[in-house]
Amino acid sequence: MLISHHLRRPARLGRLTGTALACTALLATGCTVYGGSNGTGTGEFPNRPVEFTVPTEPGGSSDLVTRALARSTEEHLDGTTIVVNKPGANGKVAGNSVFRSEPDGHRVAVMPQSLFSIGPLVVDDPEPIELSDMTFIKGLTIEDYVLVVPAGSPHRDLDDLLGQDRLNYGTAGAGTGGQLAQALLFGFTDVPAADIPFDGGGPTMTAVLGGQVDVAALHPAEVMPQIEAGGLRPIIVFSDERLDALPDTPTAVESGYDVVVDQRRFLAAPAGLPDKLVDRLGAAADKATVDNEYETILENNYIRQWNAESAEVESQLSESRQRYATLSRELGVDLGGQS
Amino acid sequence: MDFLTPVLEGFGVALQPMNLLFCLIGVTLGMFVGVLPGLGPAASIAILLPITYNFDETAAIIMLAGIFYGALYGGTITAVLLRLPGEASSAVTALDGYAMARDGRAGTALGIAAISSFIGGTVAIIALTFIAPVVAGFALDFGPPEFTALALLGILMVATLGSGSAVKSVVAAALGLLLASIGQDPLIGTGRLNFGSDQLFDGIPFVIVAMGLFGVGEILYNMESVRNARAKIPDVGRVYPSRADLRQSRGAMSRGSVVGFVLGVLPGGGAVMSSMVSYAVEKRVSRKPRLFGKGAIQGVAGPETASNAAASSSMIPLLSLGIPANASMAVIFGALLLQGITPGPLLVEDRPDLFWGVVNSMYLGNILLVLMCLPLIGLFVRIVRIPVGVLAPVALIITLVGVYTVRMSVFDMFLMIALGVAGYLMKKTGFEPAPLVLAFILGGILESAFRRSMRTFDGQLTGFLGEPIAATLLAATVGLIVFTILKALRAKRAKHQPTNETTPV
């Protein structure tokens, strides 16, 4: 662990290999190692690399954010960190793996709000991850949604769009914020609109650029380059206030529809993490999120900082879950309903 | 010729010693990654991403792109020698490549594959240089209806792929479709056939199906021959393809280049389909279709050309539209973002040095790869001579480790073993795994594309006729069916009534 301070970034691969070897060694010697470290008492954390689990494939925005976070956290934690990708089941695979482990601070996950607030509206999961399975450490990011039409579209603004006889709207998949936001918006106005879920943001972009769908809701990072190049036109944003990047685009609320939807990510550990470690990890993450590199990645991707403490994360999750459920019920929106 | 100036300046960028070095590192790493089954290019690029933080941006992307197309060269090696396709695109190469290796023509197969890869890659880059903006628009014309028609055409072609019993091929293909339906419903998001397991919630990754059925199945089957003491070690034969081999493959390579370039541009499945479509095309145009699956050299040359052409052209949507066409491109997209560059329609204008530097480095990378591959063939073919008792356990371990790296999941290792046993039993009972594996890929594409289309058309099947490209592809599909039936009928009639009556069709 001392070595890592000297050979920081370029040595990452070597360190990964080293970590893997170390883990193998740990496994091989089993309890002895753990017993020994526990026996020596306080201040031992971290006594092995802290593992940050990302619930997505490598390369996406949450992977980039987590990697930057893990790297800067390292400096403030006085130990090493590694990033592990465990994609699957909208984040549930990663959650189950981390939140069922020992709450000793060595395993944390960067989880999406959508799994808890939108997921239950889509899938009837008999064994969901409950909020009580997690210890919240810190809120990290907020990603917004922009409603866009292709540049060649005849629909100039929202009223124009809502006056259509029929609409096809593209989403990045079932259970995404973009799907919920559009379902609610079109639910408010009774426009017959067909939900066309694609396999992620890339294919959705292709569909809206090519005019395969009339409209789509995507993250600013996905649409901004196309908006700047004149390929797409923003109609509204689903944030509570206008976005810095799109000062001329009104919010849904301004336009008279009370739809505020975003994607948030937060750092969480297994339930029962001692307060001392929550503070320790929280403080390290706090410092890491003002790191230059971390901020640059957020800025380049039009992601907002979500500086929320542990309790605030929990209330945001349960509040958004309730609000989305109530709205969907009132508007008769059923995300899993069409075939 | 003004537009050529940035292109030529791009060569200047690509030829800078530093960039050249990173290109070499990239393709070498890529080749090794390709040789290791399971560890795909997307995962390796992701692992190496953090190292590139401190690199110059052009050098970083040149290296990562090198890993991507270098892996295609490497993936062929295990597909041919061990029938272990490490990547989706080399699954088809395993069919005839492995048959050739069993015949003692492993060197020829590998040589032709390397040359085909080089030609496919190079042709596609030349095309990319001149018509990238035009074809980028073409990618946008391909929506759900077009993909439905394309996948239907593909499945029809798969039905003709098997070289054994037609009924058994269809049964295997149906099983493939069934396996493809495991996992999250692509539109509604609910779990299907996952028996409540989160591990199966996202379906079975293609690599596991291909490596289990082809690779592990074959390893198990070979182990039988050790016990029976009739282990026949095939000769290595001549290492390089002969002039005649090259002449036979010429047509396949040129057709493969076109197929690969066109399909590679399509985001979401185009590149995977390219090698399959090329194989089907070769089998159709061949005068000896019976040889396919038994070591036809065109069955290696065509798909290898196509998959490499597709790899190069799949850079087009990323660099000119900012849309990643496959998993590897998605990671390279992430690498660009890390460098503070947003890939998108303005990239060519804003950063011509980066765009053309990367594109032109691919010319050099392909040359480096073919220069590296050809001398190494002599070394690789010796693997065939290793006794099964030694090779089988080693190959099995490498495969298991490879599968684990895909999703870091132990469950996947057991899943692959189960599929391996299934592959072994299929081989024992005369079922071919090829139609199953190919139907598995196409089934997923067909289902989601068709259901998206139906939603777009408000449930009206006639909607397909309103889309020119889709309608044309569907007409081709119907034409192919009618043609096949007529041909079969004519053959039957000719058999029964050899003399009189000319067929009225």
Residues in CB range of A82: below 8 A, 6 or more apart: A15, A16, A19, A49, A50, A51, A52, A70
pLDDT digit string, tens, across residues B176-192: 989 999 988 888 878 88
Shortest alpha-carbon distance between residue B137 and chain A (Å): 8
A59/B46 CB distance under 8 A: yes
Q: Do B346 and A225 touch (CB under 8 A)?
A: yes
> Nearest-CA distance from A18 to chain B in Å?
14
Q: A interface mutation test: which of B190, B204, B406 has the most A CBs within 10 A?
A: B190
List pLDDT tens digits, range B1-23. 566 788 888 888 889 999 999 99
> Burial code of A163-202, b = ≥16 C-beta within 10 A, e = fewer?
eeeebbbbbbbbbbbbbbbbbbbbbbeebebbbbbbbbbb
* B451 has a chain A CB within 8 A of its CB: yes
Tell me the range of B199-208, B296-305, B315-324, B331-340 where mean pLDDT is highest: B296-305
Our CA-based measurement puts residue A279 at a distance from the nearest CA of chain B, in whole angstroms, of 28
Q: Which residues contact A120 (CB under 8 A, 6 or more apart)?
A: A128, A321, A325
Q: Which of residues 331-350 of B touch A (CB under 8 A)?
A: 331-335, 337-338, 340, 342-346
Angle at B176 between CA B188 and CA A59, to 5 degrees: 55
Sign of the Cα pseudo-torsion (B37, B42, B44, B46, in order):
negative
Position B183 scores a pLDDT of 86
Domain residue spans of chain B: 4-233+241-494
Look up residue A249 and give its two tokens: 């685009």
Cβ distance of B51 and A203 shorter than 8 Å: no
- The whole-angstrom separation of Cα B226 and Cα A272 is 55
pTM for the whole structure: 0.81
Smallest CA–CA distance from B407 into chain A, residue: A86
Structure tokens at A128: 């969901």
**Nearest residue, CB atoms, B331 vs list A9, A59, A203:** A59
pLDDT for position A282: 93
A:B CB pairs within 8 Å: 177
Alpha carbon distance A18, A325 (integer Å): 47
CB B79 within 8 A of CB B91: yes
Question: Are the beta carbons of A301 and A157 closer than 8 angstroms?
Answer: no
Spatial CA neighbour of B117 closest among B71, B177, B73, B150: B73
pLDDT of B95 above 70 = yes
A65, A196, A294, A297, best to mutate vs chain B, most B CBs in 10 Å: A196
Find tokens 């396709």 and name the residue: B85
Please answer yes or no on whether B342 and A58 come within 8 Å at the CB atom: no
* Contact between B48 and A16 using a beta-carbon 8 Å cutoff: no
* Nearest CA-CA partner of A257 in A322, A314, A333: A333
Per the CB < 8 Å rule, is B144 touching A196?
yes
Residue of chain B whose alpha carbon sits nearest to that of A201: B323
Question: Which residues numbered 141-160 in B keep a CB inside 8 Å of some CB on A?
Answer: 141-144
**Rounded Cα gap, residues B329 and A202, in angstroms:** 11
Task: Identify the burial level of B169 via C-beta atoms within 10 angstroms of its C-beta, where 0-12 means exposed, 13-18 middle and 19 or more buried.
Answer: buried
CA of B50 to nearest chain A CA: how many angstroms apart? 7
For an interface test with A, give the residue of B39, B142, B338 to mutate (most A CBs within 10 A): B338
List, as one string, the DSSP characters of B16-67: SHHHHHHHHHHHHHHHHHHHSSS--HHHHHHHHGGGGGGS-HHHHHHHHHHH
Cis ω before A46 (30° cut-off from 0): yes
Residue B77 is predicted with a pLDDT of: 87
Interatomic CA distance for residues B132 and B136, integer angstroms: 6
Residue A299 C-alpha, separation from nearest chain B C-alpha, in angstroms? 10
B268 and A CB contact within 8 Å: yes
Q: String of b and e for A48-66 (b: at least 16 CB within 10 Å)? A: bbbbbbbbbbbbbbbbbbb
Q: Which secondary-structure segment (H or E) carries A170?
A: strand A167-171
What gap in Å lies between CA B299 and CA B188, rounded to an integer?
39
Instruction: Give, to the nearest 10 degrees, the angle between helix B352-380 and helix B57-82.
Output: 30
Give dist(CA A309, CA A279) in Å, integer.
10
Q: What is the per-residue DSSP string for A67-99?
A: HHHHHHHHHHHTS-EEEEE---GGGHHHHHHHH
Q: Mean pLDDT for chain B?
A: 84
Nearest to B51 among A12, A300, A335 (CB): A12
Cβ contact B427:B212 at 8 Å: no
Spell out the per-residue pLDDT of chain A, length 339, in tens: 333 333 334 434 444 444 444 444 433 333 333 333 333 334 578 888 999 999 987 777 888 889 889 988 988 888 899 888 887 778 888 898 899 999 999 999 999 999 999 988 888 788 889 999 999 999 999 999 999 999 999 998 999 999 888 999 999 988 899 999 999 999 988 888 999 998 888 889 889 998 999 999 999 988 998 999 899 999 999 999 999 999 999 999 999 999 999 999 999 999 999 999 999 999 999 999 998 889 988 998 899 999 999 999 999 999 999 999 999 998 888 876 554
Q: Per the structure block, which two tokens stand in for A64? A: 């980039």
Coil, strand, or helix at residue B504?
A: coil
pLDDT of B62 reads 93
Chain B residues with CB under 8 Å of A297 CB are: 337-338
Whether pLDDT at B501 is above 70? no
Given this model, what pLDDT does residue B160 score?
Answer: 64
* Residues of chain B with C-beta less than 8 angstroms from the C-beta of A231: 345
CA distance B184 to B173: 21
- The per-residue DSSP string of B228-296 comes to TT---PPP---SS--HHHHHHHHHHHHHHHHHHHHHHHSTTTHHHHHHHHHHHHHHHH-S-GGGTTS--
Q: Is residue B62 within 8 Å of residue B361, measured between CB atoms?
A: yes
Q: In the sheet that A146-150 helps form, which strands lie side by side, from edge to edge? A: A193-197, A167-171, A215-218, A146-150, A232-237
| Tens-place pLDDT, residues B185-234 | 888 878 888 887 878 888 888 878 888 888 888 888 888 876 654 445 56
B56 phi and psi, to 5 degrees?
-65, 140
Length of chain B: 505
Q: Are B31 and B78 in contact (CB under 8 A)?
A: no
Residues 385-424 of B with CB under 8 A from A: 407-408
Residue of B nearest to A129 (CA): B198
B300-339 burial, b if ≥16 CB within 10 A, otherwise e? bbbbbbbbbbbbbbbbbbbbbbbbbbbbbbbbbbbbbbbb
Q: Tokens 């004149």, residue? A: A230
At residue A200, what is the residue type? G
- For the residues B466-475, what does the mean pLDDT come to? 91
Q: Is the dihedral of CA B429, B431, B433, B436 positive or negative?
A: negative
B-chain CB neighbours of A209 within 8 Å are 140, 321, 323
Q: How distant is the alpha carbon of residue A225 from its chain centre?
A: 21
* Pairing verdict, β A232-237 and A215-218: unpaired
Between β-strands A107-112 and A263-270, what pairing exists: parallel, antiparallel or unpaired? antiparallel
Residue B33 and residue B23: Cα distance in Å, rounded? 15
- Provide, as residue numbers in chain A, all residues whose Cβ is less than 8 Å from the Cβ of B194: none
Residue B136, phi then psi, degrees to nearest 5: -60, -40
Please report the pLDDT score of residue B37 as a whole number.
Answer: 72
pLDDT of residue B205: 84
Q: Which of B42, B139, B190 sits opposite A336 (nearest CB)?
A: B190
Question: Would the CA dihedral through B266, B270, B275, B280 be positive or negative?
Answer: negative
Q: Identify the structural domains of chain A with CATH numbers, from first to last.
A: 3-143+263-322 (3.40.190.150), 146-261 (3.40.190.10)
Nearest Cα of chain A lies from the Cα of B155 at a distance, in angstroms, of 21
Question: B117, B76, B82: which is closest to B98 by C-alpha?
Answer: B82
Q: Which residue of A has its CA nearest to B321?
A: A226
DSSP string of B347-398, one letter each residue: HHHH-HHHHHHHHHHHHHHHHHHHHHHHHHHHHHGGGGGS-HHHHHHHHHHH
Which of A288-297, B148-157, B418-427 has the lowest average pLDDT?
A: B148-157
Residue listed under structure tokens 């079932």: A174
Question: What residue in B sits closest to A126 (Cα-Cα)?
Answer: B196
- Measure CA B304 to chain center: 8
Return the higher-pLDDT residue of B503 and B47: B47
Instruction: Please report the pLDDT score of residue A25 as a whole number.
Output: 40
pLDDT of residue B270: 66
Q: Which of residues 48-77 of B touch A (CB under 8 A)?
A: 48-51, 53-54
Using a CB-CB cut-off of 8 Å, the residues of chain A touching B346 are 225, 228-229
- Comparing C-alpha atoms, which of A176, A173, A218 is closest to residue A198? A173
Q: What sign results for the dihedral spanned by CA atoms B293, B298, B300, B304?
A: negative
Instruction: Say whether A191 sits in a helix, a strand or coil.
Output: coil
